Amino acid sequence: MKVPEIVLQGVTKRFGSTVAVDNLSARIHDKEFFVVVGPTGCGKTTLLRLLAGLIDPDQGEILFDGVKMNGVPPRERGVRMVFQGQDYALYPHLEVYHPQRWSNLSFPLRLQGKRVKGIGERVQRVVRRLGIPAEWFPRRPRELSEGQKQKVALGRATVLTPKVFLLDEPLSHLDPPARAKARGEIRRLHAELGTTTVYVTHDLAEAFILGDRVAVMRAGKFLQVGTAKEIRDHPADAFVAEFVGAYREGLRQAFGA
């Protein structure tokens, strides 16, 4: 499977008088785990929605391996997204998995018209990868814990292997021990899938733990893009320095320095 490099060229998105993404240009390498971090309202989720094709930019271009994606519908981009929120956009009336009926894990496959046998094989592969036990299968989302819902959401998003994997603060509703465990699972999942991954969070320590590179975002712009060490040791401006300083204790615990 060809995994795309993502290029943003002068991308702008407005909602009325609010500029959510402001003339943004960046390059996300193929198979990279790229994390966007910043305060609430800085444009992180809007950026993911632009990459997914859920909205179109008002200006600029989004390219996957040099192919312009503006106007290309989500189903033709090879993109899968895990949404923020306590329900992770799971279908509340559907079971986790049923071999003969529409269910949360089988939904993307059935939507593509896959045969029942093929669906079962793919779901079982995802179930093994993520450690989803069969006892969860008959449950509906309201019967799952936050950590269980998060795993099912990851499973549904990866049952069709994505070229680009987008995650919008998927761990925000987990308690600290579950969150720490889930970080390792997501990083391992990225390595197994070999996708280009864009992950959004407001937690700088989490961004530094997960990201190959990290983009610090404010008011629709990337203020600095670099490795955790580059941003920690050489912040680009006063805002980045203050942002790093606010997470100093969390960074010390995560990196021992």
Neighbours of 40 (CB within 10 A): 7
Residue 245 contacts residue 237 (beta carbons within 8 Å): no
Average pLDDT over the chain reads 91
**pLDDT at res. 256:** 64
Last residue in a domain, options 141, 161, 181: 161
Cα angle 181, 103, 130 (rounded to 5 degrees) comes to 20
Question: Residue 234 falls within a domain, yes or no?
Answer: yes
pLDDT classification of 253: cutoffs 50, 70, 90: low
Segment 195-203 shows an average pLDDT of: 95
**pLDDT at res. 254:** 65
**pLDDT at res. 4:** 86
The pTM is what? 0.90
In this predicted structure, the answer to whether residue 249 has a pLDDT above a threshold of 80 is: no
How far apart (Å, rounded) are the C-alpha atoms in residues 178 and 11? 36
Cα angle 37, 38, 41 (rounded to 5 degrees) comes to 130
Q: Are residues 243 and 220 in the same domain?
A: yes
82 burial class (0-12, 13-18, 19+ CB within 10 angstroms)? buried
In this predicted structure, the answer to whether residue 132 has a pLDDT above a threshold of 80 is: yes
Residue with more model confidence, 222 or 2: 222
Neighbours of 115 (CB within 10 A): 10
pLDDT classification of 247: cutoffs 50, 70, 90: confident
Q: What is the CA radius of gyration of the chain?
A: 18
Q: Are residues 106 and 63 in the same domain?
A: no
Segment 183-187 shows an average pLDDT of: 90
Q: From residue 162, how far is each of 5, 46, 93, 192, 202 by CA, in Å?
A: 13, 20, 25, 12, 24
Q: Are residues 169 and 257 in the same domain?
A: yes
pLDDT classification of 178: cutoffs 50, 70, 90: confident
How far apart (Å, rounded) are the C-alpha atoms in residues 130 and 139? 17
Last residue in a domain, options 161, 179, 195: 161
Q: Are residues 120 and 169 in the same domain?
A: no
Last residue in a domain, options 109, 132, 161: 161
228 burial class (0-12, 13-18, 19+ CB within 10 angstroms)? buried
**pLDDT at res. 1:** 61
Residue 142 contacts residue 93 (beta carbons within 8 Å): no
Question: Residue 67 falls within a domain, yes or no?
Answer: yes
**pLDDT at res. 235:** 95
Can you read off the two tokens belonging to residue 195?
A: 């996708």
Q: Are residues 58 and 173 in the same domain?
A: yes
Q: Are residues 184 and 254 in the same domain?
A: yes
**pLDDT at res. 85:** 65
In this predicted structure, the answer to whether residue 47 has a pLDDT above a threshold of 70 is: yes
**pLDDT at res. 118:** 83
In this predicted structure, the answer to whether residue 128 has a pLDDT above a threshold of 60 is: yes
Segment 62-86 shows an average pLDDT of: 90
In this predicted structure, the answer to whether residue 13 has a pLDDT above a threshold of 70 is: yes
In this predicted structure, the answer to whether residue 171 has a pLDDT above a threshold of 90 is: no
How far apart (Å, rounded) are the C-alpha atoms in residues 171 and 90? 15
What whole-number percentage of the chain has pLDDT above 70? 95
**pLDDT at res. 180:** 86
Residue with the two structure tokens 């990868």: 129
Question: Residue 83 falls within a domain, yes or no?
Answer: no
In this predicted structure, the answer to whether residue 257 has a pLDDT above a threshold of 60 is: no
Q: SS3 for 216?
A: strand
Q: Are residues 104 and 41 in the same domain?
A: no
Whichever domain contains 211, its CATH number is: 3.40.50.300
Question: Residue 84 falls within a domain, yes or no?
Answer: no
Q: Are residues 38 and 140 in the same domain?
A: no
Sequence-separated (6 or more) residues with CB below 8 Å from residue 115? none
pLDDT tens by residue, 210-244: 999 999 999 999 999 999 999 999 999 999 999 99
Total of domains in the chain: 2
**pLDDT at res. 80:** 92
**pLDDT at res. 7:** 98
Question: Which of these, 171, 218, 187, lies nearest to 44 by C-alpha position?
Answer: 218
Question: Residue 16 falls within a domain, yes or no?
Answer: yes
Segment 42-62 shows an average pLDDT of: 97
Q: Are residues 137 and 241 in the same domain?
A: no
Q: Are residues 63 and 97 in the same domain?
A: no
Can you read off the two tokens belonging to residue 133?
A: 């036990």
Q: Which domain holds residue 4?
A: 1-78+163-257
